[in-house]
Structure formats: C-alpha cells, structure tokens
C-alpha cells in the first residue's frame, strides 16, 4: 500500500516549493471539470505505456477524483521501482473541500 498525503499536507508542501511531481491520473473529461494547476496529466489507462515520461527519482504525488485510482497507480509505480510515491487521500474532491473551494466538485 502506498503512503498517503492529505490535501492540506500537499498544499503546505507546494507552498514551500518542495520539489515534487503531482501526477493526475483522471480522464481528460474530468480534468476539464476540475484541475490542480501544475499537475502532470497521464490518464490511468495510459500509465504503463508512458512510464518513461515520469522521473523515477522524483517524489510523486498521485491524484484522482476520490483517491482510489490514484492509489492503484501509486502501487503500480512502486512496483516499477519508483521509490518516492504517495497517494493524495480523498483525491481532488477532498482538495476542493479542504484546501481550495474554487476547484469545482463533480
């Protein structure tokens, strides 16, 4: 099971300027509804074929709608030798509720 980070913890880390990659694994239609500025978008179904686009040495925070798909992707990345991978607990929905209410909920 991958490590978890809360939306508030992620916000603090982003505000500090920590060097990390926010990887959004939702579908393009979902991204059109609500997005995290600066996130890298690779849909869950494309991850296996696009691993070469992700820095395996970077710290990666994986994001989806509620945290279920992102947990699966985080587990996959950990199995593929990505050593610093965490899942955003509650996904972008929790981000909207606890950090930034301007991000639409859907």
**What amino acid positions are annotated as catalytic residues?**
64
Q: Which two tokens stand for residue 76?
A: 């996959």
Asked whether the CA dihedral 64, 66, 71, 72 is positive or negative, the reply is negative
Strand boundaries in the chain, DSSP class E = 3-5, 20-24, 40-41, 59-63, 85-88
For the chain, what is the largest distance between any 2 Cα atoms, rounded to a whole number of angstroms?
A: 36
Are 76 and 102 in contact by the 8 Å Cβ rule? The answer is no
């Amino acid at each position: 099971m991958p490590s978890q980070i809360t939306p508030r913890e992620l916000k603090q880390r982003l505000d500090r300027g920590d060097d990390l990659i926010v990887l959004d694994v939702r579908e393009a239609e979902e991204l059109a509804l609500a997005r995290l500025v600066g996130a890298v978008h690779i849909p869950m179904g494309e991850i296996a074929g696009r691993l070469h686009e992700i820095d395996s040495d970077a710290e990666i925070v994986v994001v989806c709608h509620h945290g279920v798909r992102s947990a699966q992707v985080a587990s996959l990345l950990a199995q593929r030798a990505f050593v610093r991978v965490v899942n955003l607990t509650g996904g972008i929905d929790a981000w909207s509720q606890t950090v930034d209410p301007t991000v639409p909920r859907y």
